[in-house]
């Protein structure tokens, strides 16, 4: 799906949420409902999350230039992390308010809470449907979607609490509903922070095990060693890999590189690769330190002056 289509769906969802949020604040104050006010606060963060997602989509579409060799694609990941953090922080604030209301419950207008909660369910279903039409494989869009989805849960809880208050007069139902929503917000927020944090820390994407990839590459009959293997995500859905590959003497470096790229594409879906392929003969037992070319050659270290991860060898002790 194109970025333009994503923007259209997100903008439509933003319009629905912002319009209903203004109405809900007024009704929440009149009804004296912390559940309604917490829903309205959550809707405010929904609106902010969608705005942030829209800005990130625009920034990430800019071409790479200057020092930003990947462009601003990571803007989407920063947006997802901001959305996750806002969910966690808001959950803490609303949890505190709900506990206060649980200890000392105020009077709540159950009828107003029920009616507004049901209306909120309808609005959030419409907004969630709009956002589900956007590209949810993007962590940025998923972050904004999680805000709206949690708000849908909140309105369901609010409607139930309003019905309980209306039928039984149990005012604490309002605060209990808010606490249930807080738990859902914490779960979604922590998952977003974890997923975006993995990308920012250059961790391998979920489902790709670097050691497995290294062992698969060194299984090639002409490959003697694979080291300095790095697998990371630039942004959602854009995985990159780089590695130093040593080919056995007499092997065809260019052919090996093409075959390894085919393996990476076919078996792991990785198409953005940088493979430095050299013959093992050029990296054998003797070497001279940089800047000391006149010195006597000495046995070389394992592979690099500074190791970058495990070494994968076709035969133990090779090289």
Instruction: Specify the pLDDT at position 210.
Output: 93
**Tens-place pLDDT, residues 199-236:** 999 999 888 999 999 999 999 999 998 999 999 998 88
Whether 243 is in a domain gets the answer yes
**Is 300 a residue whose pLDDT tops 90?**
no
For the chain, the average pLDDT equals 82
The answer on 275 and 300 residing in a single domain is: yes
The answer on 251 and 168 residing in a single domain is: no
Instruction: Specify the pLDDT at position 251.
Output: 85
**Is 30 a residue whose pLDDT tops 70?**
yes
Whether 285 is in a domain gets the answer yes
The answer on 76 and 181 residing in a single domain is: yes
Percentage, residues of the chain above pLDDT 90? 22
The answer on 228 and 182 residing in a single domain is: no
The answer on 26 and 167 residing in a single domain is: yes
Whether 69 is in a domain gets the answer yes
Q: Annotate the chain with DSSP letters as a single string.
A: --HHHHHHHHHHHHHHHHHHHHHHHHHHHHHT-HHHHHHHHHHHHHHHHHHHHHHHHHHHTSPPBTTBTTTTTTHHHHHHHHHHHHHHHHHHHHHHHHHHHHHSPPP--HHHHHHHHHHHHHHHHHHHHHHHTS-TTSHHHHHHHHHHHHHHHHHHHHHHHHHHHHHH--THHHHHHHHHHHHHHHHHHHHHHHHHHHHHTTPPPTT--HHHHHHHHHTSTTEEEEEEEEEEEEETTEEEEEEEEEEPTT--HHHHHHHHHHHHHHHH---EEEEEEEEGGGGSSEE--TT-TTSPPEE--SS-SS--S--EESSTT--
Whether 175 is in a domain gets the answer yes
Residue 132, domain CATH: 1.20.1510.10
Whether 319 is in a domain gets the answer no
Whether 318 is in a domain gets the answer no
For 213, other C-beta atoms within 10 Å of its C-beta total 22
The answer to whether 180 and 279 are in contact (CB under 8 A) is no
The answer to whether 29 and 37 are in contact (CB under 8 A) is yes
The answer to whether 62 and 71 are in contact (CB under 8 A) is yes
- Of 200, 226, 244, the one marking the end of a domain is 200
Per-residue pLDDT, averaged over 308-312, amounts to: 78
**Is 88 a residue whose pLDDT tops 80?**
yes
**Is 91 a residue whose pLDDT tops 80?**
yes
Residue 106: give the domain boundaries.
3-200
Instruction: Specify the pLDDT at position 283.
Output: 46
The answer on 140 and 100 residing in a single domain is: yes
The answer on 254 and 290 residing in a single domain is: yes
Residue 279, domain CATH: 3.30.300.30
The answer on 14 and 148 residing in a single domain is: yes
Number of independent structural domains in the chain: 2
Whether 205 is in a domain gets the answer no
- The four Cα atoms 93, 95, 101, 102 give a dihedral, to 10 degrees, of -160
Per-residue pLDDT, averaged over 156-182, amounts to: 85
- Of 144, 178, 200, the one marking the end of a domain is 200
**Tens-place pLDDT, residues 254-296:** 999 999 999 999 999 999 999 999 987 644 443 434 444 455 5
- Of 173, 200, 227, the one marking the end of a domain is 200
Whether 288 is in a domain gets the answer yes
């Amino acid at each position: 799906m194109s970025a333009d289509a994503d923007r259209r769906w997100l903008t439509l969802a933003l319009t629905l949420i912002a319009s209903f949020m203004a109405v809900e604040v007024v009704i929440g104050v009149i009804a004296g409902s912390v559940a309604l006010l917490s829903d309205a606060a959550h809707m405010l963060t929904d609106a902010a999350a969608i705005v942030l997602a829209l800005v990130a989509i625009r920034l990430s579409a800019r071409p790479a230039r200057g020092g930003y060799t990947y462009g601003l694609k990571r803007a989407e990941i920063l947006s997802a992390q901001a959305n996750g953090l806002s969910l966690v922080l808001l959950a803490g604030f609303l949890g505190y308010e709900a506990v206060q209301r649980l200890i000392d419950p105020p009077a709540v207008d159950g009828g107003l809470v029920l009616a507004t909660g049901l209306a909120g369910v309808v609005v959030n279903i419409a907004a969630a449907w709009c956002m589900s039409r956007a590209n949810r494989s993007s962590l940025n869009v998923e972050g904004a979607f999680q805000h709206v989805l949690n708000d849908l849960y909140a309105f369901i809880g609010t409607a139930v609490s309003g019905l309980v208050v209306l039928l039984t007069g149990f005012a604490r139902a309002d605060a209990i509903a808010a606490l249930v929503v807080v738990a859902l917000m914490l779960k979604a927020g922590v998952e977003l922070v974890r997923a975006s944090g993995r990308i920012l820390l250059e961790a391998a994407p979920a489902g790709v095990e670097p050691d497995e990839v290294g062992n698969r590459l060194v299984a090639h009959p002409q490959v003697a060693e694979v080291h300095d293997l790095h697998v990371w995500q630039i942004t959602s859905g854009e995985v990159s890999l780089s590695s130093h590959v040593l080919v056995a003497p007499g092997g065809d470096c260019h052919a090996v590189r093409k075959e390894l790229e085919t393996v990476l594409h076919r078996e792991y879906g990785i198409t953005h690769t940088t493979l430095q392929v050299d013959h093992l003969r050029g990296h054998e037992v003797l070497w001279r330190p940089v800047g000391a070319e006149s010195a006597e050659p000495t046995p070389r270290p394992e592979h690099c002056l500074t190791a970058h991860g495990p070494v994968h060898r076709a035969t133990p002790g090779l090289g």
